[in-house]
Amino acid sequence: MAQPSQTALAPSPVRGEDREDRLVVIVRGAGRGVDGRFEVSCRAGRGSHPDVAGACRAVERNTRWGRDTFGPVPEGSVCTMRYGGPATARVTGWWAGRPVDATFDRGNGCEIERWDRFVPLLPVPRDDAR
With beta carbons less than 8 A apart as the criterion, state whether 63 and 6 touch. no
| Residues facing 98 on adjacent strands | 95
The residues near 62 (Cβ < 8 Å, ≥ 6 apart) are 69, 117, 118
pLDDT, residue 5, reads: 46
3-state secondary structure of 91: strand
Walk along the chain (130 residues) in steps of 10 and give the mean pLDDT of each run: 48 50 96 95 94 96 91 95 96 94 97 98 83
pLDDT, residue 35, reads: 97
Q: Which amino acid is at 112?
A: I
With beta carbons less than 8 A apart as the criterion, state whether 102 and 72 touch. yes
